[in-house]
């Protein structure tokens, strides 16, 4: 037992020394009592853990189990009817009490928190940013949208927004002919948040599918096909959509861009992931303005 105690003391010193060398620079004694408490807590945990481990290792080596076996056993191997050790019970109760205190009172010992400070500063900056750009001019909004686009969108859509040779949607126009045909034939339900109904597939347009697709992809220029009346019932005569019914298929309106960024979008090319939460409302509006500017 004596050799185990000596070994335990050596282990404690080694662990404390290692802890100090790894994190000692963060614990200038006397400068921040939170850090001091943290270091003392670490030392206490190391000491208690080692001595408890030594106690039970010694007990395993030298003690003999006593007591009555429970009725359920196998060839004499079973569980004793003994109560749990008093120390274990006290540690369990103490841990529960400490956990409740830590959750509702102690964290982070009711004092300064770097995470809390970061969150507060981030929220303050975000509010300042939003208020600064609430009344931004259209020209500045387009400039902001271009900056956001180059960082967030250009890696897939290209710096010219033309889709990098078909790898992504060509954003210089609202929708491609291929996409219109695919949606008419197969339906779509991309914007579940703003347009939950989606569009059913299998619309019976016959040979007029190509004509409608060319008209929509062409930006609603020229004579409107008579068969477009079925589309207009949801998307409107000018294709600018109806709230909660169908999206704008003529241009990248603020709502369409917000819906795409929030829900993502599946098309004939592939699937665009959701950008929900990555951009502020002002940045989303700015991207929409920029897309409209390059499509004009």
Q: Of 62-66, 111-115, 206-210, give the lowest mean pLDDT range.
A: 111-115
Q: Are residues 72 and 146 in the same domain?
A: no
Q: What is the CATH number of the domain that holds 248?
A: 1.10.760.10
Q: Are residues 82 and 190 in the same domain?
A: no
User: Tens digit of pLDDT for each residue in 152-196?
Assistant: 999 999 999 999 998 999 999 999 999 998 988 888 888 888 888
In a domain, 130, yes or no: no
Give the chain's domain count: 2
In a domain, 119, yes or no: no
More confident residue, 67 or 225: 225
Q: Are residues 171 and 266 in the same domain?
A: yes
More confident residue, 72 or 245: 245
Q: Are residues 154 and 247 in the same domain?
A: yes
Q: Of 83-87, 94-98, 225-229, 252-256, give the lowest mean pLDDT range.
A: 83-87
In a domain, 145, yes or no: yes
Q: Are residues 146 and 260 in the same domain?
A: yes
End-to-end CA distance of the chain: 87
- Give mean pLDDT, residues 240-269: 92
Q: Are residues 186 and 80 in the same domain?
A: no
In a domain, 201, yes or no: yes
User: Tens digit of pLDDT for each residue in 22-81?
Assistant: 766 655 555 666 667 777 777 888 888 888 888 888 887 887 777 787 878 777 678 888
Measured between alpha carbons, how far is residue 275 from residues 126, 158, 171, 252 in Å?
18, 17, 17, 16
Q: Are residues 218 and 79 in the same domain?
A: no
H/E run at residue 211: helix 208-217
* Residue 25 belongs to domain spanning: 2-114
Q: Are residues 208 and 276 in the same domain?
A: yes
Prediction pTM value: 0.56
In a domain, 123, yes or no: no
Q: Are residues 108 and 165 in the same domain?
A: no
For position 250, what pLDDT does the model report?
92
- The C-alpha atoms of residue 93 and residue 70 are separated, in whole angstroms, by 26
In a domain, 122, yes or no: no
For position 171, what pLDDT does the model report?
93
Q: Are residues 60 and 202 in the same domain?
A: no
């Amino acid at each position: 037992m004596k050799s185990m105690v000596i070994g335990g003391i050596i282990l404690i010193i080694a662990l404390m020394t290692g802890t100090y060398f790894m994190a000692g620079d963060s614990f200038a004694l006397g400068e921040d009592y939170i850090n001091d408490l943290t270091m003392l807590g670490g030392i206490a945990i190391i000491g208690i853990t080692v001595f408890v481990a030594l106690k039970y290792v010694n007990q395993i080596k030298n003690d003999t189990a006593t007591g009555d076996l429970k009725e359920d056993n196998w060839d004499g191997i079973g569980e004793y009817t003994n109560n749990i050790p008093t120390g274990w019970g006290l540690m369990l109760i103490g841990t529960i009490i400490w956990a409740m205190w830590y959750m509702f009172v102690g964290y982070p010992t009711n004092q300064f928190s770097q995470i809390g400070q970061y969150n507060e500063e981030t929220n303050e900056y975000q509010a300042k940013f939003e208020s600064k750009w609430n009344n931004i001019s259209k020209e500045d909004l387009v400039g902001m949208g271009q900056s956001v686009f180059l960082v967030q969108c250009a890696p897939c859509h290209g710096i010219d927004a033309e889709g990098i040779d078909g790898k992504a949607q060509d954003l210089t126009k609202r929708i491609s002919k291929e996409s219109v045909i695919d949606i008419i034939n197969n339906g779509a339900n991309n914007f579940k948040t703003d347009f939950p109904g989606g569009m059913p597939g299998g619309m019976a347009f016959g040979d007029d599918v190509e004509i409608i697709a060319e008209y929509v992809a062409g930006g609603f220029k020229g004579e409107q096909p008579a068969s477009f009346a079925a589309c207009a019932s949801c998307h409107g005569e000018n294709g600018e959509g109806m709230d909660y019914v169908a999206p704008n298929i003529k241009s990248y309106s603020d709502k369409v861009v917000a819906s795409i960024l929030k829900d993502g979008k599946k098309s004939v090319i592939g699937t665009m992931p959701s950008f929900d939460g990555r951009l502020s409302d002002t940045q989303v509006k700015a991207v929409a303005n920029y897309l409209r500017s390059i499509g004009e």
